[in-house]
Amino acid sequence: MERLIEAAARLTGIDAVDLRRKNMLTPQMMPYATPVGTVYDSGEFAAILDRALALSDYAGFPLRRARAVSLGKCRGIGISCFLEHSGGTPAESAAITFPGDQSLAITLGVQASGQGQATVFTRLGAERLGVPPDQIIVRQGDTRHALAKVGTSTASRSTMTAGSAIARAIDVLIAKGRKVAAGLLEAAEADIDYRAGAFEVIGTDRRVSLFAVAAKAAELVNNGQAEESLDTVAVAEIPQTFPNGCHIAEVEIDPQTGTVTLIAYTAVDDCGTALDPTLIEGQVHGGIAQGLGQAFSEEAIYDRDSGQLVTGSFTDYAIPRADDLPNIGGALHTVPATTNVLGVKGVGEAGTTGALAAIMNAIADALPGDAGTTLDMPATPYKIWRAYHRPRSTG
């Protein structure tokens, strides 16, 4: 779609940035129902575009291009404004249990594969319960616990679904804890508040810790004096969210060899509430690296006669390396989702989603005329060299 925007800009003579801006929804239009029934709940698309343009020094690009031309190089810049869907049904659940020893366990059906979910969910539990993170154990993906789950981290859904289930479970266990704490503190349940890891009588210094209340609740259950402990299971079924952003890539091409260098990359992303900015940055960077590989080098090649996969190992399948990536600049422009209690939208696929069109548009902008407008990924040096040197119409 973003390559089509560039094609439309060339055909109409409308500036590509202005053309994008003309087609963007405004915050006042939210929630916005599309013709196919999808409802976008939030977003500030024009503001994100403007921030990316500023951070990438888009206005200063003509000078940088002129300098590159003076050195015999081609220089191009490419924009990718994107919106993707993330998460949604089916439901995920979370269990919070108190195994003793002044600790609690958060058990989830989702299973991380490098996203740092244990860090996020530990912090989420610690902040909402007001207990130290080292008193929380996070267990993931164990089928023995029989939780309602999908069990994987597809579609950047885990934080919004499992995270919302954790938040819901915490609300329920605090509500149950108030009743037990009222008995321990000899006060009316309506006078019990929860704060900083303890239940307290409002307006007094009388308080009892969460773990003491959990132990008392378990004792009451064991003695047949209560029906349930503070151990809690909650289920969350969360609608889709719509992460979005604007990525801008700047490339330089050596026309003699077709070699393309990613000179600069800017990423501005809206992933809703940012629970851990460091992990978000890492996921965006990793996604950009994956997108770079798909745009520049990664290709599955099969033998024409036998159908045998030729690029079956990393000896032949060209994944990107660290020196293929520039320093990545960018920022978060967060607009909380309105469809889940945490306000999160997901971010795991944002880097790849934005990188493909940004890089390919930059290559098309760098090559003369329309030489790069029909290139297919991966844009290898041979493809670029051939596109640059192909005969071009002079009429």
DSSP string across 196-214: TTEEEETTSS-EEEHHHHH
Residues 97 and 222 grouped into a single domain: yes
Pairwise CA distance, residues 209 & 130, whole Å = 10
Q: Model's pTM, two decimal places?
A: 0.91
Structural domain count, the chain = 2
Q: Is the pLDDT of residue 150 over 70?
A: no
Residue 174: give the domain boundaries: 92-236
Q: What separation, in Å, do the N-terminal and C-terminal C-alpha atoms of the chain show?
A: 29
CATH code for the domain of 348: 3.30.365.10
**What CA–CA distance (Å, rounded) separates 222 from 94?**
24
Whether 207 and 264 share a structural domain: no
Q: CA 241 from chain center: how many Å?
A: 11
Q: What is the pLDDT of residue 395?
A: 45
Q: Is the peptide bond before 90 cis (omega within 30 degrees of 0)?
A: yes
Q: List Cα–Cα distances, 192 to 89, 102, 177, 230, in angstroms.
A: 36, 21, 9, 16
Cα(110)–Cα(150) distance, integer angstroms: 7
Alpha-carbon distance 221 to 98, whole Å?
A: 13
State how far the Cα of 237 lies from the Cα of 75, in Å rounded to an integer: 47
Strand 103-108 and strand 74-83: the pairing is: unpaired
346 pLDDT tier (thresholds 50, 70, 90): confident
Mean pLDDT, rounded, for 47-68 = 98
* Domain identity same for 383 and 249: yes
What pLDDT score does 101 carry?
Answer: 87
Backbone φ and ψ for 266, nearest 5 degrees, come out as: -125, 130
Contact 9, 19 (CB under 8 A): yes
pLDDT digits (tens, 9 = 90+) for 236-256: 888 989 999 999 999 999 999
Identify the residue with better confidence: 100 or 72: 72
Average confidence (pLDDT) over 68-95 = 91
Domain co-membership, 186 together with 141: yes
Q: For residue 89, what pLDDT is reported?
A: 66
Average the pLDDT over 211-230 and give the result: 94
**228 shares its domain with 309:** no
At residue 68, the 3 state secondary structure works out as helix
Output the DSSP codes for 299-334.
---B-TTT--BS--STTTS----GGG--PEEEEE--
CB atoms within 10 A of CB 152: 14
Q: Which of 179, 208, 236 is the last residue of a domain?
A: 236
Residue 395 belongs to some domain of the structure: no
Average pLDDT, the chain: 92
